[in-house]
Structure 1
Amino acid sequence: MSDINISNTDIVLDLYNNNFVEVTSKQYDKSTRTISALISEYGKVIQIPNGVTAQVRMKKPDGKGIIKDCTISNNKIVIVEDEQMLLFAGRHKVDVVLFTDTQRVSTLSFILVVESAAVSDEDVLSSNEYSALDKALKDCRDTVADINRRLEAGEFNGGPPGTRGSQWTQGTSITGTDTSPTVFNASGISDALVNDCYFNTATGNTYRCVSAGDASQAKWVYTGCLKSISNSSAITEEGQYSIDAVQANPSIEGTLANKQERINESLTQLNTNLALKQDASTAINTSNIGSQSVNYATSAGNAGTVGGYSIADIQTDAQSRADAKQEKLIMELYTASTDGNYAIVNKSGYTLISAHTVRDDSGYFVKGINKRNDGRYTLIIDGLTSSATMSFWLTWAKE
């Protein structure tokens, strides 16, 4: 259907004199009537400067306002009368406002006379109309429609795919605890990238790729173990296990280090009790019993022995037993040189129970202890990648 010819009304609006201008329109018409307004100053038409913008403003009987952008053509302000301007029958005051970046001036008002329609159009609802905002929203909708059209046409299919990120693979082909870059031909991984990771489901060990390639080219290094207490390749006898950092933490109830701490407390209490024993020099004997406020027999045999043992022998034996228990568990400050992320420690005649690094921060903690075939112990240090000299608190149990 072709558009309806637009009806235009020419008027002159003055900035200072009231011309008593009236324009008559019909209720419910929509965008078929325009008003072309020349601007005058004391009755003399002026030339509208370049860069000036215009708006028409009107208040409807329902109290809601209209602000509409206008076009400027041939030195005239062109006002399109839309359905909101013509929604209510009656006489409505209208003015035109001209803007520059820093200035604003309004014409004196004219009257828009809206003749009522023969039949009320109940489907037309009144609303605040701000055409500048409506235009911006329409521009947004047009932009979205254009983007959707271009998407459907394949304009945004994008360029070639980029390099994938790192990924995890699991299996049992990558093994051991070697921190030197190693090729595992049986891994079956054809496209390993640097920082890819591997999890050995049998041992709980984890590995990181440091050199990309297929199974015959990619190189991997051991990074740690995800099992709290696991079989280690360094253990060759049944019943031996490596201990992780959690079990070596005495502050966690039920860990091996926590139980060892309780034993140490018991030994301390035992030593305290032994210190309270009566010394032989002050004990009651046959020489001083007469000065004691007690009843005693006139004959008590040999008070210097009990069951054939002298009191001095009994005291010496008790002290040696206490000393032996105290020496069963010892803690010492141990300094060792690391090789990569591990250090080797040993104490002849003792079994290593726990190990802690001596640091003021949370870095480089001992995350595992392996017992070696030669009887020494390997301390695995978290995050350490180069050789260094480190101090450790080691707890030993006498064998």
Structure 2
Amino acid sequence: MKRTVYDEDHEAFRAMMRDFIAAEVVPHYEQWEETGTPRDLFRKLGTLGVMGFGIPEEYGGPGEVSYKYQAIIAEETARCAVALGHYIVTTGIVLPYYLNLATDEQRARWLPGIATGETLLAIAMTEPGTGSDLAGIRTTARLSKDGTHYVLNGAKTFITGGRDSDLTIVVARTSTADNDRRAGLSLLVVENASPGFEVGRKLKKIGQHSIDTSELAFTDVVVPAENLLGDEGRGFWHLGANLPRERLAIGVAAVASAAAAIDFAKAYVTDRQVFGRPVADFQNTKFVLAECATEVQAAQVLADRGLELDDAEELTVADAAKIKLFCTEVAARVIDKCLQLHGGYGYVTEYPIARLYADTRVTRIYGGTSEVMKTIVAKEMGL
């Protein structure tokens, strides 16, 4: 089925990113899985102009740019079974908070460094005892009597890029509300170098080894009042407005990984000989790959529609939930089947299918679990 979501400009951009990934990422990626992604990669991406999508030209960015360009990057990295550190987090997920909520003064202070790749971003929502229930956040930020700063205390966990970032948006409770648990949360931009800002354990994960996921702790961290992002006490709703883009990003990346898995499996079963004939000659192989291709096609159509809705600023919370739910579940099934076609070699990490299998598992968890996505869809249905 022909895709119509991209035009000639998009494909020219794809060619540029494909060359960049082949030259700057693939040769080093095995080492990065051991040591982490180097900062220099983000500066190179900044030179390409892709770190600051949406940043106005006056701050060094390209201005308004369709999310389709970031989708292409996701497709091209998946094609090689690699990742660009926490690029998706910085540019695809966290940057929109700055673009949508920052004041003119804050934009002038933060956006230029983000555009060049010198400033990397993270967002800290999840706490040791609070996952999907954001209203249960216990990290506190108390405004000083003279109103000049907040004092931040608490802890966060599962923070992607928490160790390697420069600025972290911390979701903290600045007040309490008796009748609405969601009220009273605020977004504070915290410099990771601030006294009292402690990066704890780098968590050992099943996959995504080139990207750090860490614990954070805050002990009397002084955050200037001018680092409040958006309206005080409206953090829950600010998060809700930005989550659809995050979930679209996860869904798009999941489909790209599933499509790449099919390509890896096709290449393997074509070359691999069993009982004197290629594995691809067996009916089971053909049927499995046909099932996979059909599922990925359906997921791709859904994700592409999401890209169009995002361009039109019509992507709803429920739309994004459906995209994330369906695409990540399809990716899980497809990649598992493609690994099975590799036999024992599919379980060996030198084969890219193994990396896709491990890296994709978390897509059904972060950004809201599949169960939470089902709840959102059911609510839209009036259930």
Q: Whose strand fraction is larger, Structure 1's or Structure 2's?
A: 1
Considering Cα pairs closer than 8 Å and 6+ residues apart, tell me whether 1 or 2 has the greater RCO.
2
TM-score of the two chains, using structure 1 as the length reference: 0.21
Q: Whose helix fraction is larger, Structure 1's or Structure 2's?
A: 2
TM-score of the two chains, using structure 2 as the length reference: 0.22
